[in-house]
Amino acid sequence: MSRYWSCSKFADKLRGTPKPKWLELGEWETWEEQARKAHPIRYWLAEEGLDYISDTIDFIPDKLYAIKYYINNRWVTKTNALTAHPSDIRPGDWRDVGDRFLPCLFNEVVDFVEIELAWWHIVWDKEAAKKYSAPWYSRGWFRWRTWRNAECGIDNLKWQSSLRYGDDDGVDEKHKLFGKFTPQAERAQELLALYDWWKNQRPTRPDPYEASGWREFHDRMEKQYGGSLSNRLKFTKEEKKESTKVSNALHKLEEEWEKEDEDMMIRLIKVRHALWT
């Protein structure tokens, strides 16, 4: 909790150097060094002194908060594990390790968007909380990270995706970055695309055995010749060609979708550091 004190307006006055709303990752060290040199004692009071005071005042609330979140993390959200939704891997079903990666990773993305970002979208906005009918346990001290609202989480991503460099963050019209999407916006755009792919696009894939024509051919041949391998030797020349055609079509579809799954996992890994609130 103490870190918020050093970001307050009072801390800016005490420090003598206002803390920027945002900076690129490597620029924070430069600002800290300049602020410390400008007013060494005032900088210490704002950045360190306020922390000591806050730590003292918040000692008991912080301990209770830590206990509450241990219980939450341990038994409710289970943040020590990646889990698959029962619709993707039913409890009790066997899956090889390599086959668990895709559903486990993207199920966590869904939870992040629909739970974590949904919370972020309403936590400081009472009107937004009303708009999405957020229950009392969705925010505040009693939050247990169980409230889910896909629309709210998606709206948060859309808002983040629209962020551009402008006057509000100290970039004027003469700056080369003015009007361009911020890194936060670019990461949100990518995350929104990944979420949409998993939730809306991938589930619409047709059955490859149906789409390739393999199932229809197999059923027709089984009805005509029986199911044993020896009977397949009775295929006519045309049936053999058809068998090769549908088999190749099936393998091509499976390879294309496997490649797409792999590409999406790689994209997710690249944007993984944006998955926090």
Q: Tokens 């009072």 identify what position?
A: 10
184-234 residue pLDDT tens: 999 999 999 999 999 999 999 999 999 999 999 999 998 888 876 567 788
The pLDDT score that the predictor gives to residue 2 is: 42
Residues 6+ apart with CB under 8 A from 225: 231, 232, 234, 235
- Number of Cβ within a 10 Å radius of residue 147: 20
Question: What whole-number distance in Å separates Cα of residue 224 and Cα of residue 234?
Answer: 10
Domains of the chain, residue spans: 205-266
Q: What is the pTM of this model?
A: 0.80
User: In the structure, what pLDDT confidence band is assigned to residue 262 with cuts at 50, 70 and 90?
Assistant: very high
53-104 residue pLDDT tens: 988 888 888 888 788 879 888 888 888 989 899 999 999 999 999 999 999 9
Distances in whole angstroms, Cα of residue 9 to Cα of each of 14, 16, 267: 9, 11, 39
The pLDDT score that the predictor gives to residue 79 is: 86
The pLDDT score that the predictor gives to residue 1 is: 41
Task: Report whether 205 contacts 257 (CB < 8 A).
Answer: yes
- Above 50 in pLDDT, residue 264? yes
User: In the structure, what pLDDT confidence band is assigned to residue 172 with cuts at 50, 70 and 90?
Assistant: confident
Which two structure tokens, joined as six digits, stand for 260? 């797409």
The pLDDT score that the predictor gives to residue 209 is: 96
- Above 70 in pLDDT, residue 44? yes
The pLDDT score that the predictor gives to residue 27 is: 80
